[in-house]
Amino acid sequence: MVRFDKINYFKKVPEKECSILALKLSKELNIPVFKIETALRSLGVSLQSDCNDDEYDFYKDLVCSKYELLDSYIIKDEGFSKNLDEQIRGFDELYIDTAPIIHEDWFLYFIANVIPVLRRRRKKLVILEKTFEELHGLKNNDLKSKEVRLRATIRPTLIKILAKRGLVKIVDTGSIGIADDHLVKLFRRRGINKDILLITQDRELSERIVLLQEILNKNIEIPHYSFLERLFHRHFIDEDIHKKVIACKLLEGGNLLRLYICPVCKDSYYDKILDCEGFVICSSCYYDIKELELEKQVKLDETAELEKEAELKRKSELQRILEEKEYIKNKTTVETKIKKTKRKIRIVVISVFILIFSLLVIFFL
């Protein structure tokens, strides 16, 4: 058995034999230069000829994946950590697809920041054997770029290290055929009893997951509870009835955005992870609806104003008619009184005349 020589193992290669990029990586990552060269040489990369300073972040990505050096990808922002925790804690199973794993260094940012959440919430990131098959196919695919092929080669090493630490669960579901179809079938079966989050860059697959959630929530069986369960555990009932199977997109810096489908225009879009159904109206349709509501409200206001003016006009006309009626009534009353007075006067005059005439007749007779 060969004895481990610690002194020679960590012995640095003389600077004149090292590339400047290797020295920079060694200084930042705090590991010997020869380990950096060993990691890259295993991928067929020679720092002496195959790289330049513009590719520094890419080769740092490869080395960190090889040795699980994730400290430089941790975002020291309490708000970001809290938000990531809130996004993940409500799900029973967290799946990640092939594309996010090899998309630049976003996967490293996500893993570095999600590890504390996984430990605290006692969860694991689930990766299918089908994903490993796809990574194996990508690393030998000449049609893909150099970055994709090298990441597809080195990422399984990081994933297996994380699996040994109990942070990643590699699942063999015996899948055959297209991976997307298999994921939908898998989530259709497991989504009945589990809340599932899928991280994928595939928009079409994400749309299928949103539709799947709607189907699951329509066909879910409502559990039966005893009187005591309903009395003392009321808050569990709604959670059991409503299940979540959602799809998110991985962004730069390890951020997640959830895919929604607008029920109005039927287009999909990405937004923050909200505790809601997958069918949420998009901002464009929202503003269109608001504009229509505003136009409708303006028309209603105009109609109300016209009705108000018509009502005022009607009341004014009614008041005029009443005044005319009152005037006619008063006029009629005065004329009647005058006629009665004249009649009385005539009666009195005639009576006096008759009396005088009677007296004259009597006197002369």
DSSP annotation of 105: T
Whose tokens are 């998309």? That residue is 103
**Assigned token pair, 61:** 């990505």
Region of residue 58 (left: phi > 0; alpha: psi -120 to 50; beta: else) = alpha
Whose tokens are 């009932």? That residue is 237
Residue 269 in any domain: the answer is: yes
SS3 95: strand
pTM: 0.73
Q: For residue 224, what pLDDT is reported? A: 54
| Sign of the C-alpha dihedral computed for residues 205, 82, 119 and 111 taken in this order | positive
SS3 127: strand
The tens digit of pLDDT for each residue in 334-361 reads: 777 788 888 888 888 888 888 888 888 8
Residue 206 in any domain: the answer is: yes
Instruction: Using the predicted structure, report yes or no on whether residue 364 has a pLDDT greater than 70.
Output: yes
Lowest average pLDDT, out of 75-89, 187-201, 223-237, goes to: 223-237
Lowest average pLDDT, out of 75-89, 190-204, 234-248, 299-313, goes to: 234-248
Q: For residue 2, what pLDDT is reported? A: 41
- At residue 121 the predicted structure's pLDDT band, cuts being 50, 70 and 90, is very high
Instruction: Using the predicted structure, report yes or no on whether residue 12 has a pLDDT greater than 50.
Output: no
Residue 342 in any domain: the answer is: no
Residue 53 in any domain: the answer is: no
Instruction: Using the predicted structure, report yes or no on whether residue 93 has a pLDDT greater than 80.
Output: yes
Region of residue 277 (left: phi > 0; alpha: psi -120 to 50; beta: else) = beta
Closest CA to 111 of 254, 11, 234: 254
Residue 236 in any domain: the answer is: yes
Q: For residue 9, what pLDDT is reported? A: 45
Residue 6 in any domain: the answer is: no
The total domain count for the chain is 1
Query: What torsion, rounded to 10 degrees, do the Cα atoms 182, 256, 93, 240 define?
Result: -110
How far apart are the C-alpha atoms of 340 and 320, rounded to whole Å?
30
For helices 129-139 and 146-164, the axis angle rounded to 10 degrees is: 150
Average pLDDT over residues 260-268: 92
Domain of residue 123: give its range.
70-281
Helix spans in 15-145 (H): 20-29, 33-41, 56-67, 78-88, 98-102, 106-121, 129-139
Q: 114, exposed or middle or buried, with CB in 10 Å at 0-12, 13-18, 19+?
A: buried
DSSP annotation of 271: E
Q: Which residues pair with 279 in a beta bridge?
A: 261
Cβ 299 vs Cβ 288: under 8 Å: no
Q: For residue 29, what pLDDT is reported? A: 92
Q: Which residues pair with 310 in a beta bridge?
A: none
* CATH number of the domain where residue 177 is located: 3.40.50.1010
Q: Higher pLDDT residue, 89 or 365? A: 89
The tens digit of pLDDT for each residue in 207-260 reads: 999 988 888 777 555 455 555 655 555 444 444 445 688 999 999 999 999 999
Q: For residue 349, what pLDDT is reported? A: 86
Cβ 277 vs Cβ 213: under 8 Å: yes
Instruction: Using the predicted structure, report yes or no on whether residue 115 has a pLDDT greater than 90.
Output: yes
Instruction: Using the predicted structure, report yes or no on whether residue 283 has a pLDDT greater than 70.
Output: yes
The tens digit of pLDDT for each residue in 296-340 reads: 888 888 888 888 888 888 888 888 888 888 887 777 777 777 888
